[in-house]
Structure 1
């Protein structure tokens, strides 16, 4: 709908918000300032009215209020059902840590980019912001530096200067996984990697993982091939292409779709640890749930989230460290999916 304006075309006011929400102007003020408890139902009426009017309270009024909202906003675009599922362990841990600090979590799941950050901070909906699904070239970076509330990225954009970033060390994980195969005597390695549905979103961990894998392959003298996993995660055609023209199956680094990869191998009578070597980037639970327990690097989603939000609360309390990148270290857990060295 067109933007509603107040008298003289100066933009919507708290009076306009009160009219749309069906509440008093003072109630709008209390919702924005946090000076009095307001029921969840009334707060939602006011917030919906604000969204309808694209009203943002005056920065000076917010400063005078001087009140925290006791809310952490988590900006996490759910681009696909699959990506949403993969992110929920991160979000759940963020919510648990926030609750332990007597804060609630506001999920911002639309892919709004800059507008999403400005909306949650400009309307004083939160005390701090966690940004997820970080792109390599992320337009939210420039806004985050001047947002006026603490912002923490779970992910590492290319331009990370002046930002607080936490993540798993994907580059080292790839290096370790390729190194594990090289140590077992494997010299022909194929990475079952993220496909166009992920790479088209420029997600930051993809090039980081690839850098680590290619660096390790060069160091160990390993031939490395990249095989993207399609969006439907049907891996039979991919494995057909990988196996074609080879006298023996290559070793596999599975960066995504591990259960589907294991199923496609089983349909060809190939057993990891016996017929070929296989390692994966996956959680410990997923690695142990396969027909053959998989040697893997876990991304530690809960640990990464816990560290990130703990750091964010230190920033809120004025005791945080300077901006910088903090990476959760990668380590390989050996199981049964790598063949013994001849």
Structure 2
């Protein structure tokens, strides 16, 4: 048989052929490929072996016609990035990987389209579901969501999450952990380096949630914390905010930096003033573990778990997309627990 004939035969194989060789039903083949049902490891291996034997590739067009689905998930990403370019990447990578494993493609949509962008995606049947990143406390897009025909999962939690599917890190717990780390190592004069104006202007919900945790932990410890706003997340902005923080009546012995991209600038600004983080003053950042480990010195951090958040959000999304429509998950908020790791920027403080 000629190579062209073999290729033509391969293109004609269907999931029915895969099911016949694997000795399973067509629905089982579908569940293995989409991950929508738990399948035993032995069965999954048989199906995968049959797929490889036939070089089977599902016909996306035929699947869409048969199921009235696009096999596309729209991901609404922030513009200008409070997360920064590096901060967005783990979300994009994980969501894309989860989608690919379930035989879906991802369509990137910028958040500046607002509520009109969601309506357009739904009205033109461009996707089967929507994932939204970076949610405002009073997000103007929220009222549109119940009107959409496609399911929506939020990576973030607005002030009123009723009737929504939300997944995020527990920012309130993160704020508490940062204060508890400093209080537990003897610090009593703690200053939070607040987010820059553009983040505050957007009303992002995580800002208030983190500060709420800081305030709760400080009250429990019987101390007060200061707050100095970052003018901009740049080296010069960090120098300004560090100068302001250190010029307060009670010079702080510990700083909390919840804005990820500002952490290395704050460390540099402290060194510029002759202060060694982890020796002369403590710094706790809110960032991913990998980012904390790469900084100089390695930063004590409260974890921000973008990959775990993304995986859980996609798990919820696929449950909502279940073909059978059986027992969709209840509306609600799923919070990934925050975790603190002590590194080189914590110093034990003794008070007279």
**Band of TM-score, shorter chain:** 0.7 to 0.9
Instruction: Name the SS for the 2:112 alignment partner.
Output: coil
Q: Structure 1 residues 37 and 128 mapped into 2: Cα distance closer, same or farther (>3 Å)? A: closer
1:12 matched to which residue of 2?
A: none
Describe the superposition over 1:76-105 as per-residue Cα deviations: whole angstroms up to 9, x where unpaired: 231358645422321221111101110000
2:39 matched to which residue of 1?
A: none
- Which contiguous aligned blocks of 4+ residues in structure 1 show a shift greater than 6 angstroms? none
Distance 2:82 2:329 in 1: 35
Point out where structure 1 has 5 or more consecutive residues left out of the alignment: 1-33, 39-63
Q: Structure 1 residues 70 and 138 mapped into 2: Cα distance closer, same or farther (>3 Å)? A: same
Q: Structure 1 residues 155 and 232 mapped into 2: Cα distance closer, same or farther (>3 Å)? A: closer
Q: Structure 1 residues 185 and 329 mapped into 2: Cα distance closer, same or farther (>3 Å)? A: same
Give the structure with the higher percent helix: 2
Taking the TM superposition and a 5 Å limit, the aligned residue runs for 1:69-88 are 69-80=70-81, 83-88=84-89
Deviation at 1:288, TM superposition (A): 1.2
Q: Is the 8 A contact 2:82 2:199 kept in 1?
A: no
Deviation at 1:231, TM superposition (A): 2.3
Q: Is the 8 A contact 1:280 1:294 kept in 2?
A: yes
Distance 1:230 1:254 in 2: 13
Taking the TM superposition and a 5 Å limit, the aligned residue runs for 1:71-220 are 71-80=72-81, 83-220=84-221
Point out where structure 2 has 5 or more consecutive residues left out of the alignment: 1-59
Distance 1:148 1:247 in 2: 56
Taking the TM superposition and a 5 Å limit, the aligned residue runs for 1:11-90 are 66-80=67-81, 83-90=84-91
Deviation at 1:146, TM superposition (A): 2.3
- Choose which of 308, 319, 324 in structure 2 pairs with 1:314: 319
Taking the TM superposition and a 5 Å limit, the aligned residue runs for 1:260-339 are 260-317=265-322, 318=325, 319-339=327-347
Q: Structure 1 residues 338 and 67 mapped into 2: Cα distance closer, same or farther (>3 Å)? A: same
With structure 1 as the length reference, what TM-score do the two structures score?
Answer: 0.78
Q: Which stretch of structure 1 is more off in the superposition, 331-340 or 72-81?
A: 72-81
Distance 1:209 1:331 in 2: 14
Distance 2:79 2:85 in 1: 5
Distance 2:176 2:238 in 1: 24
The answer to whether the aligner puts 1:242 opposite 2:245 as a matched pair is: yes
Deviation at 1:269, TM superposition (A): 1.4
Tell me how large the CA RMSD over aligned residues is: 2.0
